[in-house]
A and B are shown apart, each in its own frame.
Chain A
Amino acid sequence: MWTWFHKLASPPHFYRMAGLWAPWFLALSVVGMVTGLYGGLVTAPEDYQQGDAFRIIYVHVPSAYLSLLAYVVMAVASAIGLVWRMKLAHAVAAGAAPIGASFTFLALATGMLWGKPMWGTWWQWSDPRMLTELILLFLYFGFMALRANIADRQRADKAAAVLALVGVVNVVLVHYSVEWWSSLHQGQTVMNSEATMPASMLTPLLLMIASFSLFFGAVLLHRLRGEVLIREANARWVRRLVETTPSMETVK
């Protein structure tokens, strides 16, 4: 198992494997998304209170889930990178950040689109989930800005990793503090708890979450291939790759 792990960490091997896996991830996620959307938009029954408007849940909840998952991936990869000095782990953190930020933005945007017809407002400052997502977006921005502002790549890797770890403690604190804060104002916005969802609604949702995760994996793999190429730009295998790939020759 360890040899497999070490082999994976070698850049040329990883570059090849990521190239092999990425299309599978993408294909599976597209199939899952099409099925999930069909299930969610067509076969799932209307919500007795929200009518058809609830169907945005099939984009909103997976985005929100992925916005958190991407941060966890980023933080775990940062910790691995700092402790075991594994360069590939830093590349994973760097690659996951913009995807996570995009999902956070998507969760916020779909949440606003959903909130307008349901709660009559685009934005509610006292809602703990909205605020947590917003702060999460800022944390992603900080992580990316710090990376972008440090010219030396190794230093940028490690500095951003420290920041990601500080941020992970904070995400938890922010979440509970905002929840506590808003509980003084009003009861938390009650959403239909998933336990009471009929299977015809829940199954497409779970399928969408799985497909979004696969999509995240596919995009991450693509970004990682790019990261590996940039990081190994002076390595012999990259030069050989550039020489033997006609399309890359023209770019050069």
Chain B
Amino acid sequence: MIGASLQVVSPSLRPFGTFSTVLRRELQLAYRRPADLLNPLFFFAVVTSLFPIAVSPLPDVLALIGPGVIWIAALLAALLPLSTHYAHDYEDGTLEQYLLSGQSLVAICIAKTVALWLVAGLPLVLASLVVSGSYGLAPSTFAVMSITLAGGSYALCALGAVAAALTVGVQRASAMIALLVLPLMVPVLIFGTRAISMAATNLPAKGPIYLVLAVTLLAALLSPIATAAALRISME
């Protein structure tokens, strides 16, 4: 259906038209499957509440481990929807239609990444604020937390899309995606947690924030190209 709609209007569709058509479709699908939206959030809530139980409920300890725990829990939670990110489109033939539509595959990939981030990344950013409050992190860190996590989760969605595209139709894809993506997240993780820790101790955190956003920008620009190449390889 989406393929048909792309083909019918193809002469008038510029890359941005492709982008908005696919983005609208993705958001509509997510709206009709609310479980996809809620699963990462539940996962995030459960994981972050296990740490105070397992490590220590002391406020000092929680304030110390908070940034790292929240970041890692958010990264793992954002991994969950990746295994179906392209797998659903592959199974019902939409992916084939995308490839045949003659539209820019890179634009389609960017649209899907943006949709994924809106559905899986942004809610986690909001949830992380609640959790950091419960961990006793200083309110001065909230802005830094939101900015870095927003960037970091977009980088994860962009890099995760490459891994998802590489493993379309492959057995044990979800485990593969985690193995492929998590090492790639190290730079963002380092800068992101650094920024929050620095903000918590009232140090200027601008440097690491800029670095998170720089790495995110790099991932956001290069990943769609790699994703499109990976999809072509996977669909050959």
Contact = CB atoms under 8 A, between A and B. Distances in A.
Q: Do A and B interact?
A: yes
Nearest to B185: A170
A219 to B, nearest CB: 25
16 contacts: A82-B229, A131-B186, A138-B182, A145-B179, A146-B167, A149-B171, A150-B167, A154-B236, A163-B162, A163-B166, A163-B180, A166-B184, A170-B186, A173-B218, A178-B186, A178-B190
Interface residues of B, number: 30
Nearest to A184: B194
A146 B180 contact: yes
B166 A177 contact: no
Contacts of A162: 162, 166, 226, 229-230, 233
A177 B176 contact: no
3 nearest A-B residue pairs (beta carbon): A177-B187, A138-B183, A158-B233
A142 interface: yes
Nearest to B236: A155
B215 interface: yes
Interface residues of A, number: 29
A165 interface: yes
A173 B215 contact: yes
A154 B176 CA distance: 19
B172 interface: yes
A183 to B, nearest CB: 11
A163 B184 CA distance: 11
A170 B172 contact: no
Nearest to B235: A155
Contacts of A165: 226
A138 B178 CA distance: 11
A174 interface: yes
Contacts of B159: 166
B194 A181 contact: yes
Interface of A: 82, 131, 135, 138-139, 141-142, 145-146, 149-150, 154-155, 158-159, 162-163, 165-167, 169-170, 173-174, 177-178, 180-181, 184
Given A162-B229, A166-B162, A177 B236 contact: no
A145 B171 CA distance: 12
Contact of A139 (B183, B211, B229): B183
A169 B180 CA distance: 14
Contact of A159 (B171, B172, B184, B230): B230
Given A159-B230, A174-B186, A142 B180 contact: yes
A142 B183 contact: yes
Contacts of B191: 177, 181
Contacts of B61: none
B170 A169 contact: no
B134 interface: no
Contacts of B163: 163
B222 interface: yes
B234 interface: yes
Given A162-B229, A162-B230, A181-B194, A170 B187 contact: yes
Nearest to B189: A177
A173 B191 CA distance: 11
B169 to A, nearest CB: 9
Contacts of B183: 135, 138-139, 142, 170, 174
B222 A142 contact: no
Contact of B187 (A145, A146, A155, A174): A174
Contacts of A150: 167, 170
